[in-house]
Amino acid sequence: MMPSTLSGIPIGDSVQAVAEQIDAIGKKPLWVGHLQFSGAFLDQEANSQGTIPEAVASDLLSRASGLLRAFGGVERVIWTLDPLDNTPGLLAMQTYANLANMIGGKYAGSGLPESTDAYALRFRGGGRVNILAWFTNGGAAANAMMISGMEGYDPVAYSADSDSLKQRDGIDLPVDDGGNIALMVSERPVLISGHPKDLKQTITQIVAESTAQASDGMKAKTGQWLQAQKAKAAVKVSDWAARQQASLLDNLRISLEKWLRKSLGLA
């Protein structure tokens, strides 16, 4: 099963195909649960990167969550939690809490639409624009990344596993005249939160988001109503076909009886 449009992200395309199937039968929220990577794989990656498995789990799970939310049509991603086995670890759980706070809104496209080796996934919610950004290669080496579309916002950057998302604990990012921000990013995901510069813009953004959510809800209810009508119509057609079949069989039986009686001289 393939989605109608391929994004080039295998994990996203696979889940998007499921999301489209759900839309076809009546829109329902799509959740992905028990997301995890094997301990052996995390140990191997940690050894090659010179870090700890918890850090690797934090990075991989946050990237996968962002891709599923952006390209898979997934409303919520839930990681496997096993405290007795230290899975996925305290560092990763801090990342999970940050992602739940930052990328729970509606996906609003990429801040790097032409890039093939980096992601800057943009989500809108609560009047803010939040971005999850990382490079797909290069390891821990940081490279410059320029993200567009930040005019009118005061963006602040945090590491994905930051123990605080308060503005004073982040790094302020200046916005140039073209609405771009620049920062150094590696394979370790970075969270960027942009608050509107004035109250009016914040209120406008929240109203726009609420309107969009209401529109999505109305579309979902309309889709469910249409599916229900199709189901009722199918039942009616099925009942009609059954009645016609029964009527045809009765006519054939009566005709056969008349023919037999006539053949036997009993008519």
Instruction: Read off the pLDDT of residues 124-152 as tens digits, 9 standing for 90 and up.
Output: 988 889 999 999 988 889 999 999 999 98
| Residue 267 burial by Cβ neighbours in a 10 Å radius (0-12, 13-18, 19+) | exposed
196 vs 212, higher pLDDT? 196
pLDDT for res 72: 86
Structural domain for 37, as ranges = 1-104
Give Cβ neighbours of residue 176 (< 8 Å, ≥ 6 apart). Answer: 182
pLDDT for res 135: 95
DSSP states along 166-179 = -GGGSEE----TTS
**Number of folded domains in the chain?**
3
79 pLDDT higher than 90: yes
Average pLDDT over residues 221-229: 58
- One-letter amino acid for residue 95 of the chain: T
Residues 27 and 69 occupy one common structural domain: yes
Residues 95 and 136 occupy one common structural domain: no
Residues 21 and 79 occupy one common structural domain: yes
Among the candidates 197, 213, 233, a domain finishes at 197
pTM over the 0.95 mark: no
Average pLDDT over residues 173-177: 94
Residues 208 and 131 occupy one common structural domain: no
Percentage of the chain beyond pLDDT 90 is 44
97 vs 243, higher pLDDT? 97
Residues 8 and 87 occupy one common structural domain: yes
Among the candidates 172, 197, 222, a domain finishes at 197
Residues 148 and 122 occupy one common structural domain: yes
Residues 5 and 84 occupy one common structural domain: yes
202 pLDDT higher than 70: no
Residues 98 and 115 occupy one common structural domain: no
